[in-house]
Structure 1
Amino acid sequence: MDDLTTSTSQSFFIPNNSVVGDYILQEVIGYGGMSVVYRAYHNQLRRTVALKIINKQLQSFQKLAAEARTMAQLDHPNIVRIYDIGTTPYFYFAMEFIKGTTLHEWLRRNNNYSIENLAPILLQLATALEFIHSKNIIHQDIKPSNVLITPNNQLKVMDFGISRVAPRMVPTQKSEFTPVGTPKYMAPEQISGSASYKTDIYGFGATLYEVVCGKPPFQGRSYNVMVDVLTKEPITPSVLNPQVSPEIEAICLKCLQKVPANRYASVKQLIRDIKNAQAHQPILAKKYTKWQASKKFFKRHIVAITSMIAVVFMLLCFCVYLFWQKNRIELYANNIHDLKKEVDLVRDATTQTLKRAFEEYSTLQQSDTFLQPLRKLLLKIPQSDKKYPVIYGMCFGLNSGKYALKKSLQLLQQKIEKDPDDMELFITRGNIYLHNNMVDKAIADFDYVLQKKPQSITAYLNKANALTRKLEYDKAKQLYDKLLKMEPTYAKGYYNRGRWFSIQKKLKEAIKDYKLTTMYNPAYAPAYNNLGYAYMRTRQLDKAVENYTKAISLDKKNWQSLFNRAIVYMQLGNYEKATVDLEAAHAEKPKQSQIHCYLGMVYFNQGTLSKAKKYLQLALENAELPRHLRQRAEKILRHIRNK
């Protein structure tokens, strides 16, 4: 996602070893839309610096000088120092070179989300902000990439390119300006066109949120993010990462309040709260109880669910209304155009809601239970396939019979011919091909998307999955590695590469990738299930039980995790717990032959022979029961009959 200050410009580069002023350029260490930052060396002073060079075509020297003057005022141990400024042959200024890592990487290495571990770093950042504000300056772009940690755990704030002088009268006084910054970390008032010291407090909160949750409060395209910042509440941090302490969560959410008056009155007050939390003293910020966090999480998701149901219901109402009112159309001729626009809006909203639901919960597109009501609704609407081709394709493209599959693909083809630049259509069709084992056609669609949009992480992931299905394992592995290099925090990438390692029986590597999946998406149940299976295969049974339990806590109807945990309990000799899990799995999958077989075995081991006989017979009636389980079931039944 682009920074609003750079979205319309292009970066430029100068070859390494070039001379700029008294500096020799060594390598690029960062860049934006209007500048490039190099590691450079001053021969006479024998000092390594970070040299920021401004594109003359895009930025005036006055702007560069303003940033340099701002930084020159800020002599503080937690703020990057400026050494020099020049104009020939480029506009540039030299800054302190920091050998360090980002906040997020630092915490990932420490893997400690306690207040005792975080407080020293947070206090350094807050102290730097307090000093900046004391100079009547608003930074306006506090974010993880502008905060570095040195090897000796000293924090440094940098990049004052969009900072501005604050009003001197009242610390919270606002002033109008053109919105600049990075949307993911911008405060609501910043998006609306104003800023105050409390804008930086919001940036502090957004940075802290990403550090402990692995992602910013809101994600997506710039416009969508700004809408979410203005209208939605972020997911409570402890929902995404249960290791987050209540004090850190409370401080983070107070900083992220949409109304500036509800945030900390000043950075000094924020510092006092952090110190009180560190000393286990009462804090000003309100701590969230588990009940409050659960309510907030449920409220966030229920909106999405009810919105989708409401949109579908509205669509049905509009269609029924049009059907029954067809004889009175002439009386409402002046309203037809507006009514059609409303129906189009409902259709588009339904399409986007389904797409987002399928992206967030990929199993929904394979769930007959979820899709059946939508399919019935579409079949009741006259010519629904022509009116809503994309919705029709998504609902009937998977698990719905050859005729519906053929029709779905025809509709998507028609839509693609009308709008060949919509890459989501190709990805949708590719997924339908892949699910129906038309792997080569799926790969062709994903390749087309990558040709038009080379940075499409989704296309890389889907193509890698298709190559794995095609048994071209080496090519699939290369794509998984590539997309994770492009997006190092992409949870689904680690999850699918973990599955690849499992197929290759490289279980240690699979375990590492599944762990990374749960770190970047702590609420992703399939990753815990697969991690449990990998531990079970490596005979680490306690860890297997722990991860299956986590998967079940996230998805109470996860029959596969219940079934696998039962097998582990049987290996541990705990047949009572195994019975409870197998009965719960059976309630979700009453026709699954392997569940019948294991229920028969566990009841046999407990001496309940009537139930054992019943379930073993059910298992043997199913032709899909694997051969080795069939042999075991027959052997146990013979033993029961002999008794």
Structure 2
Amino acid sequence: MNAVTEKRGGAARALALTAALFSGLALAACQSGPAGELSRIDTAQGSSENISSLTQVINANPRDPEGYNVRGSALGRGGKYPAALKDFDTAIQLKPDFYQAYSNRALIYRFMGDQASALNDYNRAIQINPSYDAAYIGRGNLYRKAGRTRDAFNDFQKAIQLDTTDARAYHNRGLIYQQQGQHNFAIEDFSTAISLAPDASEPYNGRGLSYLALNQEDNAFADFNMAIKLDSKNAEAWANQALVYERRGDKAKAAKSYREAVRLNPNYQPAKDGLSRTSAG
């Protein structure tokens, strides 16, 4: 993708999707980071070695806006946000209709907490190229975080209508369906996201929640296990696995999984509550 990959690990998870109750137990909510991407940041692409190579490319052709866009993306992946902004600014100065650079800069603004500037850049990218799916997905996540669910849904829907192959569009539309209790639609979208990004853990975790909502416990358990296999640091998946164990009456295994979720994210309340329930006595 052209947009800088979401920094899920380092960024605070911003939006709790759902907090349903099943058999008196709180369903651990699936959460996503600022831009809702499906995978952790590729820090190798933001390494000093890679930045140095990209700088050499820019030095050889300092009037090429693409070089600044690529280096800006790498800097963003490395968490060097001010430097990334500077590169995207230069890319846009050299090429005012560079819609990819606007969309990439928008994501950096999001990481930095400047949602208004992010929205302006997404709007500008879409104005320049109304068929640019990544900008709709990015803006949709911006809207979702702001609670503008209908606007978010429309943006994800637009990206899908553009025949996007970006799993984020389906994953995030699935999250909205899940919020609305439309779990069959959510499962369909999560399944499509899995087919497009089979190594991402989040769609498995999301689909597992909807399976659990439909009392398809075995399917849910399989999905939570797969989410953990793909990303052993996914605290929500550990908590959701624990919830299945708890529903089955296996408090020892539930407590073990809740404990791991708390270790990974000490502030994750569903895991803390679950550990308190299963460790009592």
Q: What TM-score bracket applies, with the shorter chain setting the length?
A: 0.7 to 0.9
Alpha-carbon separation, structure 1, partners of 2:213 and 2:56: 54
Which TM-score applies when normalising by structure 2? 0.78
Contact 2:4 2:104 in 1 (8 A): no
Alpha-carbon separation, structure 2, partners of 1:465 and 1:458: 11
Letter of the 1:626 counterpart: N
* Residue 528, structure 1, aligned to residue 147, structure 2: no
Contact 1:398 1:432 in 2 (8 A): no
Q: Deviations over 1:601-641 (max 9, x none)?
A: 11110224443244234334x242433033223223224xx
Out of 124, 127, 151, the position equivalent to 1:485 is 127
* Residue 474, structure 1, aligned to residue 93, structure 2: no
Q: CA RMSD in A?
A: 2.7
Q: Who is 1:545 aligned against?
A: 187
Would the alpha carbon gap of residues 616 and 476 (structure 1) be closer, same or farther in structure 2, given more than 3 Å must change? closer
Letter of the 2:232 counterpart: P
* Residue 513, structure 1, aligned to residue 155, structure 2: yes
* Residue 590, structure 1, aligned to residue 196, structure 2: no
* Residue 630, structure 1, aligned to residue 275, structure 2: no
Q: Who is 2:56 aligned against?
A: 414
Contact 2:133 2:164 in 1 (8 A): no
Alpha-carbon separation, structure 1, partners of 2:197 and 2:256: 29
Would the alpha carbon gap of residues 579 and 443 (structure 1) be closer, same or farther in structure 2, given more than 3 Å must change? same
* Residue 434, structure 1, aligned to residue 67, structure 2: no
Would the alpha carbon gap of residues 618 and 479 (structure 1) be closer, same or farther in structure 2, given more than 3 Å must change? closer
Q: Deviations over 1:381-412 (max 9, x none)?
A: xxxxxxxxxxxxxxxx95149xx833433443
Which TM-score applies when normalising by structure 1? 0.36
Would the alpha carbon gap of residues 362 and 521 (structure 1) be closer, same or farther in structure 2, given more than 3 Å must change? farther
* Residue 456, structure 1, aligned to residue 98, structure 2: yes
The correspondence of residues 143-292 of structure 1 with structure 2, limited to 5 A, is none
Q: Deviations over 1:58-110 (max 9, x none)?
A: xxxxxxxxxxxxxxxxxxxxxxxxxxxxxxxxxxxxxxxxxxxxxxxxxxxxx
3-state SS of the aligned residue for 1:539? coil
- Structure 2 spans left out of the alignment, 5+ residues: 9-40
The correspondence of residues 66-215 of structure 1 with structure 2, limited to 5 A, is none
Letter of the 1:523 counterpart: T
Alpha-carbon separation, structure 2, partners of 1:408 and 1:419: 17
Number of residue pairs aligned between Structure 1 and Structure 2 = 247
Q: Who is 2:23 aligned against?
A: none
Contact 2:65 2:92 in 1 (8 A): no
The correspondence of residues 332-347 of structure 1 with structure 2, limited to 5 A, is none
Letter of the 2:190 counterpart: Y
Q: Who is 1:118 aligned against?
A: none
Would the alpha carbon gap of residues 533 and 492 (structure 1) be closer, same or farther in structure 2, given more than 3 Å must change? same
- Structure 1 spans left out of the alignment, 5+ residues: 1-357, 367-396
Segments of 4+ in structure 1 off by > 4 A?
Answer: none
Q: Deviations over 1:495-519 (max 9, x none)?
A: 1111111121111100000011111
Contact 2:4 2:77 in 1 (8 A): no
Would the alpha carbon gap of residues 635 and 499 (structure 1) be closer, same or farther in structure 2, given more than 3 Å must change? same
The correspondence of residues 4-19 of structure 1 with structure 2, limited to 5 A, is none
Letter of the 1:572 counterpart: L
What percentage of aligned pairs have identical amino acids?
23
Contact 2:143 2:152 in 1 (8 A): yes
Greater Rg, structure 1 or structure 2?
1
Alpha-carbon separation, structure 1, partners of 2:264 and 2:224: 20
Would the alpha carbon gap of residues 591 and 475 (structure 1) be closer, same or farther in structure 2, given more than 3 Å must change? closer
